[in-house]
Amino acid sequence: MQAQYDVVVIGAGVVGAATARELARFDLRILVLEAGLDLACGATRANSGIVHAGYDPLPGTLKAKYNVAGSALFEQWQRELGFGFYRNGALVLAFDEGERQTLDELARRAVANGVKGVCIVEADELRAMEPNVSPDAIAALSVPTSGICDPYGLTYGAAENAASNGVEFEFDARVVGISRDADGFVVTAGDGRGIAARAVVNCAGVHADEMNNLVSERKIHIRPVKGEYLLYHNAFAGTFRRSVFQAPSAAGKGVLVSPVIFGNIFVGPNATPVEDKADLTTSEEGQREVLERSRRTWPEATTEQVIATYAGLRAKDASGADDFVVGEAPDAPGFFNAACIDSPGLTCAPAIATDLARMVAERLGAKENASFDPVRIPAPLLAMMDEASVRELVDQNPLYGVPVCKCCHVSEGELVDALRRALPVRSLDALKWRTGATMGPCHGGRCTARILQIMERELGVAAPDVQKRFCGSSLVVDKCADEQRSEQLVPHAKRCGELARQARADLDERGMREIGWGALDIVGTRPAGVCSCLLALGLFGTTGCLPGRKAVVWGTHDLALRTTLELADAGVCIERVVEAGDEPVGSPELVHELGQRGIPLQCGTRVERVDGASRLGSVTLACDGASETLTCDLLIASPQIVAE
């Protein structure tokens, strides 16, 4: 028998989650279907986090309408949902007289769209506002009502509030079909289930055209546009206080330099049309383009202190129409679109959601939900609390006094709280985004194994069943099916666990850490199976499951060599050990033992690329201007030990 709902929302990005929350204001049975294992798996997760003021969209467009209305709702939504947001202001730079004319046009648009406080500042005032801005900028449009927010935090807050008001969420629930029937629609999920709904709201991101085209003759076609970013260590916090844009062009708002809500700064994105709607690869060319273009704003931009590189997709209308598609499909009553939601979609989400919920309620004749509560009580985050509040919380629950993630000051209590809240945690990345754990410069090298243990305990799942981000992205491989072989692994796992504890203590005492792989200038995808030494050892030591079966090791310091030898003893095939320098840096005894074991060692070589959809499939090595690709499911990337 088919499940029956009043409304099915397709997609749990920021627009889908916000729409579900606003629909919960009405007496409706609502289901959100999300293809990924978590909220915000698409454009919401990898974007600039800017709350645009509304000076850029053409007056009269849906973008202009929803931009200004959405921005105006952020203070209220922040009070109700408890996510990071503040108005830091923005500047749009002009570098010549032609671009100054662009600023004049933007100022006129701002007035037409109802944006307050916008003015043009000259070079001296500009540099007083932002001392690190390029001396080549001759003027700027000052936009004081622009802001920044935590996109995931907004999405999580809206979704959790929706769930507390009765909305149901299903993850790993890709929609593969939609058909009409006498009562509305039948939505078919990837597992073959049919779900009946009186109305459908399409918030499927880059896949929104596919959903629309299943039911409407008014076809939509989306061409994804990829943007790459570089995120800097918070050592650069304060370099820029405002979000600094360059005068826009036909390609978009251009590469910007901006703080994020957590204190870091980033540069990006570029804009590269792609065909593959799952293409989140980074490239050497893309990263170079972002860096070079950002130097027009920030001449000191560098690859030093970059802690992460990543890419996101924007859902661009392939027809060239620079506007959203929002509302009921004219030839499919009850089917509502939020399609072609590119920039400034994040800002517009609250206003789009409010409008869509009203439209759906009117179509269905729904009454208001008298018990709707708009307020969500967020989980405590120790890093944002004063010492007295932390002590009080620890007194109430000692788990808040048990540190797990040293870099980001996340406790076991915070992890347990996130695992027990209304929305399920289906992946390690979901826990990362909800608590901040593993977001520091070591990328979880110290704490991921412990987090995995906590997830096993709290969720009642085995380590190989915990995914990093996507289905098939387990951090470890299954224990050996051969019982005798599994028993043989136990002493190896114990030795690796002990080596991890000793190495962690030694590094902590010296104020050192392994360099995080986000700082290694590696391009490609971001699959599971890329580890530091501490992570590889810790995973095996705590779970008894190998972190991979065939490995490449990048690094020849003593910890890297000892890790290599221990994993080789446990049965991991070491395809190659590589060192960027001209000779290995570890002890001669360990290097000699590699040779004795027949493990290949190659100097003057670095890892330049990793590939794999969910789990690592290959790495590409660069040596003397040539490239070589090796098949493997584990990369131990630890070329340097650096100061904390």
Q: What is the pLDDT of residues 164-185, one digit of tens each?
A: 999 999 999 999 999 999 999 9
Residues 533, 555: contact at Cβ < 8 Å?
A: yes
% of the chain with per-residue pLDDT over 70? 98
Q: How confident is the model at residue 604 (pLDDT cuts 50, 70, 90)?
A: very high
Q: What pLDDT shows up at residue 443?
A: 86
Query: Residue 608 pLDDT more than 90?
Result: yes
> Which residues of the chain does CATH 1.10.10.1100 include?
382-465
pLDDT tens for 346-392 read: 999 999 999 999 999 999 999 999 999 999 999 999 988 999 999 99
The most distant pair of C-alpha atoms in the chain lies apart, rounded to whole Å, by 78
Query: Distance of CA 183 to CAs 38, 213, 405, 455, 568, Å?
Result: 30, 20, 51, 42, 61
Among the listed residues 212, 225, 203, 201, the one whose alpha carbon sits nearest the alpha carbon of residue 318: 225
Q: How confident is the model at residue 518 (pLDDT cuts 50, 70, 90)?
A: confident
Q: What's the CATH number for 483-643? A: 3.50.50.60
Among the listed residues 334, 451, 445, 469, the one whose alpha carbon sits nearest the alpha carbon of residue 403: 451
Q: What pLDDT shows up at residue 25?
A: 98
CA distance 452 to 458: 10
pLDDT tens for 422-480 read: 999 999 999 999 999 999 888 899 999 999 999 999 999 999 999 999 999 999 997 65
Q: What pLDDT shows up at residue 254?
A: 72
Of residues 520 and 510, more confidence is placed in: 510
Query: Residue 110 pLDDT more than 60?
Result: yes
User: Is residue 233 helix, strand or coil?
Assistant: coil
Residues 463, 450: contact at Cβ < 8 Å?
A: no
pLDDT tens for 39-92 read: 999 999 999 999 999 999 999 999 999 999 999 999 999 999 999 999 999 999
Fold for the domain defined by 3-364 = FAD/NAD(P)-binding domain (3.50.50)
Sign (positive or negative) of CA dihedral 138, 142, 148, 151: negative
Cβ contacts of 176 within 8 Å, gap of 6 or more: 188, 189, 190
Q: What is the pTM of this model?
A: 0.96
Tokens of 215: 């039911």
Q: What pLDDT shows up at residue 485?
A: 53
Residues 571, 555: contact at Cβ < 8 Å?
A: no
Residues 475, 540: contact at Cβ < 8 Å?
A: no
Query: Residue 524 pLDDT more than 60?
Result: yes
Residues 312, 280: contact at Cβ < 8 Å?
A: yes
Query: Distance of CA 48 to CAs 20, 312, 353, Å?
Result: 23, 9, 20
pLDDT tens for 261-281 read: 988 999 999 999 999 999 999
Query: Residue 537 pLDDT more than 70?
Result: yes
Catalytic residues, by residue number, are 52
Partners of 314 in the beta sheet? 225
CA distance 245 to 251: 13
CA distance 640 to 556: 9
User: Is residue 276 helix, strand or coil?
Assistant: coil
> Which residues of the chain does CATH 3.50.50.60 include?
3-364, 483-643
Long-range own/partner contacts, residues 293-296 (CB < 8 A, 24 or more apart):
293/246, 293/254, 293/255, 294/230, 294/255, 294/256, 294/257, 294/267, 294/268, 295/134, 296/95, 296/134, 296/136, 296/246, 296/255
Q: What pLDDT shows up at residue 442?
A: 85
Side-by-side strand order, sheet with 626-631: 523-524, 605-611, 618-623, 626-631
Cβ contacts of 477 within 8 Å, gap of 6 or more: 464, 545, 546, 547, 548, 549, 633
Q: What is the mean pLDDT of residues 153-162?
A: 98
What is the residue whose two structure tokens read 């029956």? 4
Computed over every residue of the chain, the mean pLDDT equals 95
CA distance 295 to 134: 8
Query: Residue 486 pLDDT more than 70?
Result: no
User: Is residue 341 helix, strand or coil?
Assistant: coil
CA distance 42 to 144: 29
Query: Distance of CA 225 to CAs 228, 273, 349, 423, Å?
Result: 10, 4, 19, 30
Amino acid identity of residue 502, one-letter, is Q
How many beta carbons lie within 10 A of that of residue 72, not counting itself? Answer: 15
**CATH superfamily name and code, 382-465:** BFD-like [2Fe-2S]-binding domain (1.10.10.1100)
